[in-house]
Structure 1
Amino acid sequence: MKQSPASTWVHQFLLLPATVFPVLLMLACWTSFTNPPPIDFFSFWTGAQLVLAGNAAQAYQSQMSGFGLLMPLAYPPPFLLLIAPFGLISFGSAFAVWSIATGGLYLAATGSPRRAALACPPAAANALVGQNGFLTTAILLIGLRQLTQHPWLVGAIFGLMVIKPQLAMLLPLALVAGGHWKALIGAAASASCLIALAFFVFGFGAYQGFADVLLRYSSLLQDGRWPWNELASSYALVRWSGAGHGVALSVHIGIASIAALIVWTAWRNDWACKVPVFAAATLLISPYLFTYDAVLLAAPLAWLTMRKPGWAMVVWCLALVPLLRNVGYPGPNAIPLAVIAALVAMILPDRDGATAGTASDPV
């Protein structure tokens, strides 16, 4: 697809952040060796060590560390199967291997233009703390891009999202709308096998611990345990404005319902942009969402860079806002606004009158 002058300009503009963000990852890896910080990956690494010591259930309890009290792991027991090997090596080595491996999968999954994937602001947020946003984005995008060619294999890949089910809630809807029954059955079988394997390896205690953590985190979310501009959901955005739990949840459900309807329409009618539409809408479903989860914005950002560069800049700037918290920014987390802008941009016809159903999709 031939780029317009505006698209070329945006593509060149993204060169700077596309260069800076990987440098931040290298600095984070270096810091993990020289002066390990209290980042999210430390909980993963500690959980891995507990698994290797035969105490998997303790990963779902608060742990004392050199950084103080660590929050319990917030991921289902199948996630412990994934992170267990990292407990065999030092924290610095584990962080570097995890970041490089998941970051490589992320770049392989995002496709062209990869500059948009490297420049996606939430990718920097994920890289700095060693979270799993690269991995979950890779799982979803690899599966969605290979859906028609290898439906059973894609289903098995989708089953891996059992490690973070809040980002997979729209997946059955999209697969049913598109008539991808083999992938749906494969995903259900894969997820069931992983759940059963984790139960066999870790026992009932791990699942009981995870159930307790779900209740605890739900209470912490409602009570405002995290600063509202640290969370990246529309629920958190409304709470930041001063509204109470009931109002915020009602607004969130309304926005999530519209997002689900857009995904159903896109996949039912086989829109060319159905993959980036799915990626964006997914970020409007769960009230419990952080900036690092929004790595999925790489898909709509890439699509908009090629098709609607003006909108791409709007989405990029809004997605950059949460990173300013590191320099004292007290305002709201703009990720929900970036996601909504991306969805609106993909739905609206372009200047040539092409609609969402006819535009070429590079993702």
Structure 2
Amino acid sequence: MFVSFARLQIYFIVALLLVAVVYPIYLFGSVMGLDGFDLRRVGGDFYQFLLASRMAVSGQAAQLYDFGWFYGEVQRNVVAGSGFYAWVHPPSLLVFLVPLSGLTYLQAYGLWMGSAAALSIFVSFSRKAPIRAFTFFIFAPATLVNLFYGQSGMLAGGLLYGGLRLMDRHPAWAGVLLGFVSIKPELFMLIPIILIAYRSIIALCACVVTVAFLVDASAVFFGSGLWWIYLETVPSLLTTVMDQGEGNFLYLIPSAFGAARALGFSATAGYMVQLPFTILAFVVTFWLFMREREPVARNLAVTLCVLLATPFLFLWDYAVLSPALYLYATRTGLFDEDVDSPYMESILLFAVYLLPIINIALAAHGFPVGPVFTALALIVVIARMAGAGGLQTSVDEKTEQGDKSVSDERESDEGLGTT
């Protein structure tokens, strides 16, 4: 069957309507009533980051890990009873948040989300179809969910994919960017495996030095005991939250653990369900970097593994997939009307693209599909890599037709921003 990614782009608009119009109406109408609508809910999670930046600058960073105080403070400034709030981020994240401390809410929100979006678009720049990046990223459900909640998924996505894309040509800078991903430990799990399997001493050392710098800088500027407070309070708090969370909270967790919990299973059962997905992600990641492979497909596959590996995954974290998916779709021809793309590949990749909204709706009705769609997407990407010619076939065909830019881009995957 003739199916291309381009033919499915009508869902850009569908995704926008679902996230920006239908979902808020459903949420406010069915959960809290339309009379409870408050614009402060939009980007409400971001107030945590702004509050953290101000507390860090004022020398009170340790108070962030006082759950009772932090919860009450956010509730007073966002919307009373608007949800669960706790500061569970490592002190190293405060290094990135300091520039926000002197800004108003709207200024800080605009800078935070705008710079994260710009980074994600920049690291996935492609000369073949650079204009498509705007619509792909702006209408991506993961982008809209990040904007709605004011979360950090796009920043993590830019750092992660930037590091992966630079590994072949600039291992030192790759190590630095991958080291920055440690500000989200749940997405950092596979990076040591990547660097060990890749056997690049430069990248590994750069990553270790970057992580050490973030730890030292946060300890020096925000308090030498801050990391001990973090290690004493956050693991137990996260365990409690994941064990006792229920209702709408679970629909935001598209991991295998979240799927099991959404179906009514206990936390212990959830971790048992999560375990094979985590093992699969570790094994596939090691396999991907043990030998030289086509970088675009490899980077998409390892990004999917990052999402599969952790139980502590939220819908906004799927923004880390956007740069990898965009470049993969551009290089393989999934964006082209005249390319006969594999039916299942297009459907599954677009299902993962739409996952931040379809998982909420389906999980609420007993069908948490997040880990299933993500695993199937990983399978089709690996199948293309292992197939006869794989991604190379697509590139060779375009080169024979005179599209030298594609060949040039593949050979230089990737100096970011190359023109």
The bucket for the TM-score relative to the shorter chain is 0.7 to 0.9
1:316 maps to which residue? 350
1:73 maps to which residue? 87
Which runs of 5 or more structure 1 residues have no equivalent in the other structure? 25-33
Work out the CA distance in 2 between the residues paired with 1:345 and 1:202.
46
Work out the CA distance in 2 between the residues paired with 1:180 and 1:13.
42
2:383 maps to which residue? 348
Give yes or no for contact 2:50–2:108 (8 Å, CA) kept in 1: yes
Give yes or no for contact 1:231–1:333 (8 Å, CA) kept in 2: no
Work out the CA distance in 1 between the residues paired with 2:89 and 2:391.
35
Work out the CA distance in 2 between the residues paired with 1:197 and 1:355.
45
Instruction: Please give the secondary structure, in 1, of the residue aligned with 2:304.
Output: helix
1:31 maps to which residue? none
1:123 maps to which residue? 143
Instruction: Please give the secondary structure, in 1, of the residue aligned with 2:251.
Output: coil
Give yes or no for contact 1:229–1:330 (8 Å, CA) kept in 2: no
Q: Summarize the alignment of residues 297-308 of structure 1 with structure 2, pairs less than 5 Å apart.
A: 297-299=321-323, 301-302=325-326, 303-304=328-329, 306=333, 308=341
Q: Return the offset for 1:245.
A: 2.5
Q: Return the offset for 1:166.
A: 1.5
Work out the CA distance in 1 between the residues paired with 2:269 and 2:16.
41
Q: Return the offset for 1:19.
A: 7.5
Work out the CA distance in 1 between the residues paired with 2:387 and 2:56.
56
1:29 maps to which residue? none
Instruction: Output the TM-score relative to the length of structure 2.
Output: 0.74
The 1:181/1:281 distance shift into structure 2, 3 A limit, reads same
Work out the CA distance in 2 between the residues paired with 1:79 and 1:209.
15
| 1:40 and 2:45 are equivalent in the alignment | yes
Q: Return the offset for 1:37.
A: 2.6
Q: Return the offset for 1:101.
A: 1.0
The 1:179/1:20 distance shift into structure 2, 3 A limit, reads farther
Paired amino acid for 1:297: L
Q: Return the offset for 1:214.
A: 2.4
The 1:312/1:116 distance shift into structure 2, 3 A limit, reads farther
Q: Return the offset for 1:340.
A: 0.9
Of 371, 385, 398 in structure 2, the residue corresponding to residue 336 of structure 1 is 371
How big is the alpha-carbon RMSD for the aligned residues of Structure 1 and Structure 2? 3.2
Residues 191-200 or 71-80, more deviating = 71-80
Q: Summarize the alignment of residues 32-181 of structure 1 with structure 2, pairs less than 5 Å apart.
A: 35-37=39-41, 39-62=44-67, 63=70, 64=72, 65-66=76-77, 67-68=79-80, 71-112=85-126, 114=133, 115-181=135-201
Instruction: Output the TM-score relative to the length of structure 1.
Output: 0.85
The 1:258/1:8 distance shift into structure 2, 3 A limit, reads closer
Of 244, 265, 289 in structure 1, the residue corresponding to residue 287 of structure 2 is 265
Work out the CA distance in 2 between the residues paired with 1:61 and 1:141.
34
Of 243, 265, 270 in structure 1, the residue corresponding to residue 265 of structure 2 is 243
Q: Return the offset for 1:326.
A: 7.8
Residues 103-112 or 352-361, more deviating = 352-361
| 1:216 and 2:263 are equivalent in the alignment | no
Which runs of 5 or more structure 2 residues have no equivalent in the other structure? 22-37, 127-131, 335-340, 396-409, 415-419
Give yes or no for contact 1:155–1:185 (8 Å, CA) kept in 2: yes
2:317 maps to which residue? 293
Give yes or no for contact 2:15–2:141 (8 Å, CA) kept in 1: no
Work out the CA distance in 2 between the residues paired with 1:327 and 1:318.
13
Q: Return the offset for 1:8.
A: 6.0
1:278 maps to which residue? 302
Give yes or no for contact 2:3–2:342 (8 Å, CA) kept in 1: yes
Q: Return the offset for 1:332.
A: 4.1
Instruction: Please give the secondary structure, in 1, of the residue aligned with 2:303.
Output: helix
Give yes or no for contact 1:74–1:213 (8 Å, CA) kept in 2: yes
Give yes or no for contact 2:124–2:324 (8 Å, CA) kept in 1: no
Give yes or no for contact 2:318–2:356 (8 Å, CA) kept in 1: no
Instruction: Please give the secondary structure, in 2, of the residue aligned with 1:176.
Output: helix
Q: How many residues align?
A: 352
Residues 307-316 or 118-127, more deviating = 307-316
Give yes or no for contact 2:5–2:350 (8 Å, CA) kept in 1: no
Sequence identity (%) = 21
Paired amino acid for 2:348: V
Q: Return the offset for 1:143.
A: 1.1
Paired amino acid for 1:252: Q
2:24 maps to which residue? none
Q: Return the offset for 1:98.
A: 0.8
Residues 95-104 or 215-224, more deviating = 215-224
Residues 281-290 or 298-307, more deviating = 298-307
Q: Return the offset for 1:72.
A: 2.6
Work out the CA distance in 1 between the residues paired with 2:6 and 2:41.
37
Larger radius of gyration: 2
Q: Return the offset for 1:235.
A: 0.8
Give yes or no for contact 2:172–2:202 (8 Å, CA) kept in 1: yes
Give yes or no for contact 2:219–2:227 (8 Å, CA) kept in 1: yes
Instruction: Please give the secondary structure, in 2, of the residue aligned with 1:88.
Output: coil
Work out the CA distance in 2 between the residues paired with 1:348 and 1:318.
17
Work out the CA distance in 2 between the residues paired with 1:275 and 1:328.
28
Work out the CA distance in 2 between the residues paired with 1:233 and 1:23.
24
Paired amino acid for 1:76: P
Work out the CA distance in 2 between the residues paired with 1:216 and 1:8.
42
| 1:253 and 2:281 are equivalent in the alignment | no
Work out the CA distance in 2 between the residues paired with 1:21 and 1:139.
28
Question: What per-residue deviation string (whole Å, max 9, x for no partner) do you get for residues 167-199 of structure 1?
Answer: 011112112222222101110011101101111
The structure showing larger relative contact order (alpha-carbon pairs under 8 Å, at least 6 residues apart) is 2
Q: Return the offset for 1:237.
A: 0.7
